[in-house]
Amino acid sequence: MSQPQIDIIPSYNIDQQKWNNCIQQSRGPLIYACTYYLEHMADNWSGIILNDYEAVMPVPWRKKYGIQYSYDVPFVQQLGCFTAGNNDYTSILTRELSAFGRYGNYNFNFQNKAAGSKECTNYIIDLSPGYKSINKHYKEDLLNNLKKVSKQSLVYSPGDYATAIAVYKSLYSSRMPNITEKDYGNFGRLCIYLHKQNNVIVRKVMNANNELLAITLLLKDEHRLYNLMNSTTDAGRKTEANHFLFDEIFKEFAGSNLVFDFEGSDIPGVKSFYEKFGAINQPYYRLHCNKLPFLVKWVKRK
């Protein structure tokens, strides 16, 4: 059997059609790995490509102090190996990560687990069975909260992505200092691009006084709804508005043959919230590499 050909190609030389076809024809296509997503969000990225795009693996990278390293791109949860065939090329392509340096983080997707990687939590709900089937898996305390919410005059309606981004940024940016103004700007431009294709969905909950209680921004592809930015105000937490928001989303999109991707989480409170909806864990895998010389490691700590 001949050895596979493996090339590392900078993003600007990648055949975008062949790349995206490989992603879409894989067993677990994800929006984050598509060229248009990475072009908007990553500082730099290259593709590890097997044969004629039989398998692909995107690698975002940066340079600091002359050291090139792979890094976590904001609003990109999973990357890894994607192949249009049935073979698993994860280990073959993962060996090529060393070409991007001896330091960095890299998240593989739920279909591939690299040696030495750590399991991370990601909750999903299959929307295809319909709302009654989804609701059957709700936890008792969620059902009780929804009964309380039903006695309030809450309104579920479409919103706009600019508002969703602004609210998310105002409420949570202090907790996520790694996400910069540039990152929010990149994400806004990505939403402009996807909005033209009707692939940005924003839903919000207001009270009788027209006060915003909760809002979420979802990105959409042929397979999933991705919960990218979910925000709840102080008033919204007091009224369980976020429970109401997601329940209404599931009513709206039930039977759509899409998977609802909560996008996490290993944070106990968030994890508990997602579990209330009967969401199942579809883990992905995180690899951290640090093979820098000791002196460089010491400098990085400083």
Handedness of CA 225, 187, 284, 240 (dihedral sign): negative
Q: What residue spans define the domains of the chain?
A: 6-120+284-301, 123-281
CA 299: distance to chain centroid?
32
Q: Is the pLDDT of residue 101 over 90?
A: no
Pick the CATH number of 6-120+284-301 from 3.30.40, 1.10.720, 3.10.450, 3.40.630: 3.40.630
DSSP per-residue letters across 253-266: HTTSS-EEE-----
Pick the CATH number of 123-281 from 3.40.50.1100, 3.40.630.30, 3.30.1300.10, 3.40.50.300: 3.40.630.30
pLDDT in tens, 175-203: 999 999 999 999 999 999 999 999 999 99
Question: What is the arithmetic mean of pLDDT over 257-266?
Answer: 92
What pLDDT, on a 0 to 100 scale, did the predictor assign at position 249?
98
pLDDT in tens, 73-95: 999 999 999 998 788 889 899 88
Name every residue whose Cβ is closer than 8 Å to that of residue 138 and which is 6 or more positions away in sequence. Answer: 146, 276, 277, 278
SS3 content of the chain, % helix, strand, coil (to 5): 40, 25, 35
Lowest-pLDDT range of 25-34, 65-74, 132-141, 193-202: 65-74
pTM for this structure?
0.92
